[in-house]
Amino acid sequence: MFINWIKKKLKKLLHLLSYYGISELLKLLKSYISFRYLFRRQIFLGSYTLRNKKHISIGEGFKAYQNFFAEAHEGGKILIGKSCIFNRDAYLTSFSEIKIGDNCLFGSNVFITDNCHGSYSGFHQSDPSEIPVNRLISSALIIIEKNVWIGSNVVITKGVFIGEGSIVGSNSVVTKNIPANLMAVGAPAKVIKTYSKEQKQWINY
């Protein structure tokens, strides 16, 4: 019985070596013996940056791949729930608040920003002759509820609400609210499907 156990472990190790390679596997093992994993069950697989950490909260079971970047500017907050997964090159920046629920999945190269330089609607809009970096920062709360799936190369802009269970397709730009259990794609993102609990399937919107 012990020999069978050894064989299974060796088989699994060989599979991991074949899949990741020695270098990547060593990085993976390093992530599991880090302070964040041992005490908070958080895994950063590769380089990551957390700027203004006291205003960034990350739940247990979190996993992020290479080049995760999160910055809470003065007055900003980033709150990430439990068991969220971010693929490579995620970028989060906040002057207001970004709130992400539990069990959300993010594809690679996702950009989430609750702010922008200048104002381009309503009263007192920005003058194009003004240098962009000098324009007044405008910001608004972003809420992403639990069980949301965000595809690769998605941009989520300020003031957006994405409801529980919704899906945003790859290469989309989210500029308006997406209620729960909907599927949206495009730039700007538009709803194309809704989930029917009665039929237990996604149907055209």
Q: Where are the domains of the chain?
A: 1-33, 42-204
Q: 110-150 pLDDT, tens per residue?
A: 999 999 999 988 888 999 999 999 999 999 999 999 999 99
Active site residues: 117
Q: How far apart are CA 38 and CA 141, in angstroms?
A: 32
Low-confidence ranges of the chain (pLDDT < 70): 1, 16, 25, 28-32, 35, 37-40
> According to the model, what pLDDT value does residue 28 have?
67
> According to the model, what pLDDT value does residue 69 have?
98
Sign (positive/negative) of CA torsion 199, 189, 155, 122?
negative
Q: How far apart are CA 34 and CA 137, in angstroms?
A: 37
The answer to pTM > 0.85 is yes
- CATH 2.160.10.10 applies to domain 42-204: yes
